[in-house]
């Protein structure tokens, strides 16, 4: 349902939220998230355009969150790289349907609305704070930050 780009963007943002407020290099991000470095650059550009990340080149530079992890939702990240496209009109272009969706497409749009609502209610901070034994991208006991 979600593209590789969305998955990579979410991994990147969760990692940077875990490291926040520290900036990290693309090499560090790629190593921690297992995102290919060439693809990571494309993902970071999209997240910077959406004003979720800031990127500074050179010595002392790196990539960091623009806002606190408590202020960035999963939906913010998804919409930055590949917005969820709701079904507004009949995808088949049937004139008989006009702007009303048939029962099938209405159910599909309702499912998309549910996903959108769930993502809008989940922040990066909540993802990291959730009590679990499988912390995202962190293989270190005790919840320590991922070494870079």
Poorest-pLDDT segment among 33-47, 54-68, 131-145: 131-145
Total domain count, the chain: 1
Whether 142 is in a domain gets the answer no
Prediction pTM value: 0.83
pLDDT band at residue 101 under the 50/70/90 scheme: confident
The CA R_g of the chain, rounded to the nearest whole Å, is: 18
Q: What is the CATH number of the domain that holds 117?
A: 1.10.10.10
Instruction: Report the mean per-residue pLDDT for the chain.
Output: 87
The tens digit of pLDDT for each residue in 72-91 reads 999 999 999 999 998 887 77
Give dist(CA 139, CA 134) in Å, integer: 8
Classify residue 61: in a domain, yes or no.
yes
Residue 145 lies in a domain: no
């Amino acid at each position: 349902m979600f593209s590789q780009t969305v998955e990579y963007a979410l991994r990147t943002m969760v990692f940077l939220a875990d490291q926040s407020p520290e900036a990290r290099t693309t090499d560090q991000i790629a190593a921690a998230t297992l995102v290919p470095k060439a693809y990571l650059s494309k993902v970071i550009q999209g997240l910077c355009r959406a004003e979720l990340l800031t990127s500074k080149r050179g010595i002392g530079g790196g990539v960091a969150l623009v806002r606190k992890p408590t202020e960035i939702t999963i939906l913010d990240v998804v919409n930055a790289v590949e917005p969820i496209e709701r079904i507004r009109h009949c995808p088949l272009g049937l004139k008989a349907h006009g702007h009303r969706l048939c029962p099938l497409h209405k159910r599909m749009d309702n499912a998309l609305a549910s996903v959108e609502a769930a993502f809008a209610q989940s922040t990066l901070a909540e993802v990291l704070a959730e009590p679990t034994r499988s912390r995202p991208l962190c293989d270190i006991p005790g919840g320590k930050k991922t070494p870079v």
